[in-house]
Structure 1
Amino acid sequence: MYRAYKTGDGNYKDLKGFCKVTTLEEVSKHDYKLTPGIYVGARDVEYGEFQFEEKIEELRIKLLEQFEESNRLQERIKEDLEGLY
């Protein structure tokens, strides 16, 4: 990307969510903030409603399992600490 932009060989193009050439005018409109997301944006991700709901459910189950594991480890640490005295 950098070389394509720097050499000006015509191969450079903005890629949403990855890179973008902007103007000083646009940067000034954003109070000279250089946070990439302001200019680059986020790439479009297409999820069907079913896929999205399925993924959320999968993540919810995984998170609950991790909570259980965290609680188990916390109890084990408490027991180990109590065993020191």
Structure 2
Amino acid sequence: MKKVEIYTSPLCGYCHAAKRLLQQKGVNYSEINVLAQPARKSEMMKRAKGRHTVPQIFVDETHVGGCDDLYALEQTGKLNALLGK
């Protein structure tokens, strides 16, 4: 399985929804809380080509985008392939 990273904030409903989908699919992921680690937000923005909202999701070095992007991949049947399942 590929490395999945998700930049989040604990107060973000979209972050919780994205993590819930990943958990339902049995995906292990690394969570980076930008509220607790504010220095990591600039890292996230650089990797996400300027996007500043959370969540920002990465599979290996592929930028998936946010929660809506993740769910769109799931609905079109492309998420499993991206995750290497």
TM-score in same-fold range (> 0.5): no
Higher Cα radius of gyration: 1
Q: Going by fraction, where is strand more abundant, 1 or 2?
A: 2
- TM-score normalised by the shorter chain: which range applies? under 0.3
Normalised by the size of structure 1, how large is the TM-score?
0.21
Normalised by the size of structure 2, how large is the TM-score?
0.21
Q: Going by fraction, where is helix more abundant, 1 or 2?
A: 1
Bigger RCO (CA 8 Å, 6+ sep): 2
